[in-house]
Every structure is written in structure tokens, then in C-alpha cells.
Structure 1
């Protein structure tokens, strides 16, 4: 991996931590402000944090944050997220007793992807998996709740076609932009992005109890990695 474009060398560890920490801190403050001082619904607040937090993977990629730091942060936030379902640690993100473990799976998936793809010097796949979850799943939920009028049911879960379509479009766009930056506008970029989007949408639709925050990023990243190995 080469140094980020705006650095002549890989930035020192303290700067990497300061930049990523500042980003996460700002998101936390934003969530608490929305929760306490506005009438923004709790689900919207969760999705704002969901979308904003996922972009930390881009900072980790561009700043060359070491794998141990990303994995360590994942462990810490996974533990906090798990405890928050029983204790009022993150009231703006999780309700006490909430049945979904989505925030826990979210933090866990980032750690797994960093551990895997940082170790083989292929961080773009980790970024792709996390951002498909971050933007695709996040916007799908918001669009489905706000504009979803055509619903369908899988098991006992209510979904909307508007939300699923948003998931597919955003997942394809995210995948395409990352692959475009890494390998260019070749036909494989278009095909792989389309396949990843379809599979990610299926994983999001069929996953229960917040498990999509684990299946979507891991499934998207793994599929993209395998297809790139086969087609490039």
C-alpha cells in the first residue's frame, strides 16, 4: 500500500488516532444532540450514526491505520455495543432491551474485515464491504421508512420494494466507485459491482435480528474478492 495522496509519507500513529478519533467523537456528539435537543426519531439517529461511522474505514485505508489498531477498536466498540443493550450507555443508538444486535454485529464485522484484508494488503475489499453495509443498508432503511409504499414480507419481517431498490442501487454504486479507483473502468468492474449489489440486497432482505450488519459486509467483501481473483 502506498502513502495517502495528501501525505508524502505514512502519517504517524498519533495523527492517525487523532483524525479517526475526532471523526467518531463528532458523530457521537451529533447523535446525542439529535437525541436530546431535536424531535428526530431514534431510528433516524441510529442510521445517521450507522452511515457516518462506517466511513471511518476510508480514513483507516487512506491513513494506513495498522491492523492491530482497527481490530482493537472493533473489540472495544463491540463490547460497548453489547453492554448497551442492557445498560443506558448509548441511549441515542440502542434502546434498552432492543432485540436487534445490529450495532454489535456492525463493530464486529469491521474488525473481521480489517483483520482479513489488512493482512493480505488488500484493504479495498474491507472498505467495500463496510461501505455497502454503511450506505446501502442505512439509506435503504431511511428510504423504506419514509417513502416505502409497496411492501412485501419475508418470514415475519416487513420490507419495502423502495428500500430494497435503494439497497441495490447504492450497493452497486459503492462497489463500482471503489473498484473504479483500484482497477479502473474495465468490464469486470461493472459486472462485479452488479453481482455484489444483487447478493448484498438479498442478504439484507433475509437477515434477521440485525444480522445483516454482519452478513452484508462479510458477504459483499468476500464475493468481491473471489470474483476479482477469478476474473482479473
Structure 2
């Protein structure tokens, strides 16, 4: 028993128990909420998936504020990716994939979180990982919600059906979250606004032309990389 306790403390010191508990409870509550909405309400599968999409994406803020070690974030992303793949082939979690179309978007979402944490946490600049994930979380999430509920002006690119209302919602949210995060770390406000605008345009463009959920990978990585280049070089 003492050996087991020693192993547990060496991998998960007491200082990590609180942030791990907060993150775990947050993710569990989002998943339970989405599953409840999916199984016991008439809410569409796409909307319940967006509850998961927007809710779980904000875990990157907890990881940043609680200074969670990168290995834990990467491990959580790997586990989430595996669950997403299983749910893609087996309908165990309808709130993840019940959107009437086959997509690996949730898997790419988890993959992007793992890559960005592995990339920017060791550099001591986690804010760029936060930007990448939040652009996808709020930009793409609100694009879908606004587009479905209020999209009155549709357009099509490469077989993708979009609406101007949804695309403008993504551009606005991408600009806001990018600018908000950068304002906490960068003094040059003019550069912050310019970076936010460029990230918003690029993210919206990538989301518009993407297929099979690949935007859940390309949008976060490209947004984080562009913001990093603009501010550092």
C-alpha cells in the first residue's frame, strides 16, 4: 500500500489534485448536460453537439489559469480523441456525433488541443494555445448556432452550405477572443487589434472551405500560429 501511495504522489502531487478535480468536474458536467439534452429533450443533435463543442473548449482557460502541466493536458487530449473515435464508429455518445453526417470533427478537436499544448506550453506562451482553441470553440460554435437559427442569406463554396450570418458571427467571435487573450499579455494595442482581425479573417476562410470536420484541426493550429508570428516576429 505504501508503494502505491508513493507512486501516486510522485505522479500526482497534492498540488495538482485541486486543478485536476476542477477540470474533471467541469468536463463531466458538460458531457452530462449534453447527454441529458440529447436523450430527454427535443433539441437537435447539432445543437447538443455545439454544447459539447463550446463547453469543453473552455477547458483550455482552466488549464491556463490553473497552470496545469502540459503532460496532463496532452494525456487528456489523447483520451478525448480515443473516445471521439470510438463514438464515431459506435453510437455510445449521441451528443458527440448525432448531426446527421459523418465527421471526425470531434477527434480533430481533441487532436488540436493536444498539439497546441505540446507546442506552446513548453515555450512558456500558453496564451497562443488558448487563442487557437477559443477561436474554434466560440468562432465555429457561434457560427453554427447563429447560422442555423438566423441564417437567411445562404451561400455555397466547394459544396459547403454556409450563411453570411454564420460566417460573420465566426469572424466577430474570432476577433473578440483573440483580442481579449492578447490584451492580457501584449501592451501594443494596435498590434493586438490587427492580429485579431487577421486571425478572424483567416479562421473564417478556413472554416468556410473545410470538409469532414478538418476545420477543427486547421482553424486552431493556423490561428495560434498566425497570432504567434504577428506578436513575436
Question: What is the match of residue 183 of structure 2?
Answer: 180
Of structures 1 and 2, the larger Rg is shown by 2
* Aligned residues of 1:100 and 1:210 also touching (Cα < 8 A): yes
CA deviation digits over 1:37-67, x for unaligned, max 9? Answer: 1111110000011000000000000001100
Distance 1:52 1:97 in 2: 21
1:7 match: none
Task: Give the secondary-structure state (helix, strand or coil) at the position aligned to 1:159.
Answer: strand
Structure 1 counterpart of 2:11: none
2:55 to 46, 52, 57: 52
Q: Take 1:88 and 1:148, find their aligned partners in 2: how far apart are those partners?
A: 29
Aligned to 1:213: 216
Q: Number of residue pairs matched?
A: 221
Q: Give runs of ≥4 in structure 1 deviating > 4 Å.
A: none
**Alignment check: 8 A CA contact 1:84 1:96 kept:** no
Instruction: Give the structure 1 partner of residue 4 of structure 2.
Output: none
Q: Secondary structure at the match of 2:121?
A: helix
Q: Where do 5+ consecutive residues of structure 1 fail to align?
A: 1-10
Q: Considering only aligned residues, what root-mean-square deviation do their CA atoms show, in Å?
A: 1.5
1:185 Cα deviation (Å)? 5.7
| Structure 2 counterpart SS, 1:89 | coil
- Are residues 1:126 and 2:126 paired? no
Give ranges in structure 2 of 5+ residues lacking alignment: 1-13
- Matched with 1:117 is 120
CA–CA distance in structure 2, aligned partners of residues 96 and 160 of structure 1: 18
Instruction: Give the corresponding residue for 1:196.
Output: 199
Q: Provide the rounded CA distance (Å) in 2 between the counterparts of 1:202 and 1:163.
A: 12
Question: In 2, Cα distance between the equivalents of 1:19 and 1:60?
Answer: 10
Matched, 1:14 2:17: yes
Give, in angstroms, the shift of residue 126 of structure 1. 0.2
The Cα shift of 1:24 comes to: 0.2
Task: Return the alpha-carbon distance in structure 2 between the equivalents of residues 117 and 67 of structure 1.
Answer: 9
Structure 1 contact 159–205 (Cα < 8 Å) conserved: yes
Give the stretch that moved more between structures: 88-97 or 108-117.
88-97
Q: TM-score, normalised by structure 2?
A: 0.92
Map of 1:74-85 to 2, 5 A cutoff?
A: 74-85=77-88
Q: What's the CA shift for 1:184?
A: 3.5
Contact 1:126-1:221 within 8 A present in 2 as well? yes
Q: Distance in 1 between matches of 2:206 and 2:170?
A: 10
Q: 2:64 and 2:35 mapped to 1: Cα distance?
A: 27
Shifted more, 185-194 versus 203-212: the winner is 185-194
Contact 1:86 1:96 (C-alpha < 8 Å) held by counterparts:
no
Q: TM-score, normalised by structure 1?
A: 0.92
